[in-house]
Amino acid sequence: MSIQKTDGRATMRRRKMLARGFAGLIILLFLFVSVFPFIWVTATSVKPSPEIFGARTAFRLIAENPTLEHYKVVLEKGLLRSVLNSFIVSIVTTLYVIFVATLSAYLVSRFRFKGKTFLMAMILAVSMFPQMIIVGPIYNMFYSLGILNSYWVSLAYSSITLPTAVWIMVAHFKSIPLSLEEAARIDGAGALRTLTHIIFPLAAPGVFTTAIMTFIASWNEYLLTFTLNTDANYHTVPVGITALRTQFTILWGQIAAATVIVIIPTLAIVLLFQKQIISGITSGAVKE
C-alpha cells in the first residue's frame, strides 16, 4: 500500500510539473508574440533602406550595416515638434477630463435623481460611437468658432475619452463606504470638502489609472487631429508619422525610427506607474 501511495504521489508531482511547464510555455509564447513587433520595429529602424527592401536582407532581424540615419532624418523633419504637440494636447486633455469626470462620477455615484440609470446608459452608449460619426459636427463647430489649427483640439479629444473616464470612476467612487461621508457631514464638512479631503484621496488609484488611460488614448488619437489641424505646426505624433512617405514610396525605415521615438514616453509611463495602474484597476472591482 505504501508503495502504491508513493507511486501515486510521484505521478501527481509529474503531472503538476508538466502542467506548470506547459503553462510556462504558453506564457512565453504569448510574451514573444506581444514583444516581437517592437523588436522588429527597432531592428528595422537601424537598417539602411537597401536592406529593408532587399530580397536577401528584408527578413533578417539583425542589420548587416546598422545606421542611425533614419533617426537623424525624422528629427530633421520636425518629429520633436509633433512629440511636443502630443504632450501638450494629451496633458491638457487629461487634466480637463479628470476634473470633469471626477465631479460627474461623484454626483452620479452619491446622489439619487430621476433618470440616473438612463444617464449611465447614455454615457456608455456615447463611448461606443464610431469617431466618423462625430468628426463632421465637431469640424463644423470648430470652423464656426474659428479654432481650427490650434490646441483647442483637446476639447474634441474629451468627446471620446470623457465617457469612459466617467464610467470607470463611478465604479471607484461606489467602492468607497458611505459611512465615511456620513462621518464627515457630522463633523460639518460640505459636499465639496468631503470630495476633496476624503473621497478623492481614497479614490486616487482609480483617478490615477483613469488619467493614464486618458493620456495614452489622447497620445494615440489620429482622426480628430488629422481633420481639425491641417497645419503641420499643430500635427501630433500619429499624424506626423503618416507624413513619412513620398508619392510612390512608404519610408519604412523612417516610420520605424519615428515609432521607436514615440513609444518611449508611453512605455516609460507604463513601466514607472505599473503598480499604481494595477492598483487602480483592481481597487474598484470589489465594493466594500
pLDDT at 140: 92
Alpha helix ranges (H) inside 56-110? 69-76, 79-110
Looking at residue 248, its amino acid is: F
Non-local (6+) Cβ contacts of 192 within 8 A are none
Phi-psi region of 110 (alpha: psi -120 to 50; beta: other; left: phi over 0): alpha
pLDDT at 201: 79
pLDDT at 2: 53
What CATH number does residue 120 fall under? 1.10.3720.10
* C-alpha cell read off for 82: 509633433
Higher pLDDT among residues 106 and 3, named by residue: 106
Owner of C-alpha cell 469626470: 101
Contact between 97 and 165 under an 8 Å Cβ cutoff? The reply is yes
Q: Could you tell me if 12 and 138 lie in one domain? A: no
* C-alpha cell read off for 276: 499604481
Q: What is the mean pLDDT of residues 80-104?
A: 91
In a domain, 60, yes or no: no
Q: Return the minimum-mean-pLDDT range out of 63-67, 121-125, 278-282.
A: 278-282
In a domain, 152, yes or no: yes
In a domain, 255, yes or no: yes
Q: Could you tell me if 34 and 95 lie in one domain? A: no
pTM, two decimal places:
0.79
Q: How far apart (Å, rounded) are the C-alpha atoms in residues 225 and 62?
A: 35
Residues 42-52: tens digit of each pLDDT = 888 889 888 88
In a domain, 52, yes or no: no
Alpha helix ranges (H) inside the chain? 2-45, 49-53, 69-76, 79-110, 116-127, 131-145, 153-174, 178-186, 191-194, 200-202, 204-220, 223-228, 237-242, 252-272, 274-283
Q: Quick one: pLDDT band at residue 184, thresholds 50, 70, 90?
A: confident
Q: How many CB atoms lie within 10 A of CB 129?
A: 12
Q: Could you tell me if 122 and 181 lie in one domain? A: yes
Q: Could you tell me if 23 and 153 lie in one domain? A: no
Contact between 229 and 124 under an 8 Å Cβ cutoff? The reply is no
Higher pLDDT among residues 2 and 179, named by residue: 179
Residues 218-273: tens digit of each pLDDT = 988 888 888 999 888 899 998 888 888 877 788 888 899 998 888 888 788 777 77
Tell me the residue range of the domain where 31 lies. 2-45
Residues 190-219: tens digit of each pLDDT = 777 777 777 777 777 788 888 888 998 898
Residues 147-181: tens digit of each pLDDT = 999 999 998 888 888 888 888 888 888 877 777 77
Q: Could you tell me if 129 and 186 lie in one domain? A: yes
Query: What value, to the nearest 5°, has the Cα angle with vertex 93 and ends 87 and 99?
Result: 135
pLDDT at 8: 63
Q: Quick one: pLDDT band at residue 105, thresholds 50, 70, 90?
A: confident
Residues 112-140: tens digit of each pLDDT = 778 778 888 888 787 777 778 888 888 99
Indicate the average pLDDT of the chain.
82
Q: Could you tell me if 126 and 35 lie in one domain? A: no
* C-alpha cell read off for 144: 464656426
Q: Could you tell me if 99 and 38 lie in one domain? A: no
Q: What domain count does the chain have?
A: 2
Q: Could you tell me if 144 and 11 lie in one domain? A: no
Q: What is the mean pLDDT of residues 269-282?
A: 67
Q: Could you tell me if 192 and 261 lie in one domain? A: yes
